[in-house]
């Protein structure tokens, strides 16, 4: 997962304003770091996203983002 996809999913799930606040304040129990600190430390965006989802109880049906109709 690219970092841009991580931020897309964060903003889609939590809102564009709150996603960045959450990433900077929620300490992920798997890493004992915030999401931003974990990303800066080299943890893959996919692993950070999964840790955020686990900790925030994001259902599996929403972890890949919402279904979008194909572009024509």
Q: In the chain, helix, strand, coil percent, each to 5? A: 60, 5, 35
Closest CA to 27 of 7, 52, 62: 52
25-55 tens-digit pLDDT: 999 999 999 999 999 999 999 999 999 999 9
69 within a domain of the structure (yes/no): no
70 within a domain of the structure (yes/no): no
Domain count, the chain: 1
- What is the span of the domain harbouring residue 26? 3-58
37 within a domain of the structure (yes/no): yes
Closest CA to 64 of 20, 12, 4: 12
Q: For residue 72, name the pLDDT band (cuts at 50, 70, 90).
A: confident
50-67 tens-digit pLDDT: 999 999 999 998 888 776
Are 33 and 41 contacting, i.e. CB atoms less than 8 angstroms apart?
yes
């Amino acid at each position: 997962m690219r970092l841009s996809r991580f931020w897309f999913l964060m903003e889609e799930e939590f809102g564009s304003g709150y996603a960045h606040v959450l990433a900077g304040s929620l300490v992920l129990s798997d890493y004992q770091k915030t999401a931003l600190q974990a990303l800066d430390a080299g943890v893959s965006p996919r692993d950070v996203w999964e840790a955020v989802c686990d900790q925030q109880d994001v259902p599996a049906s929403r972890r890949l983002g919402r279904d979008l109709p194909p572009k024509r």
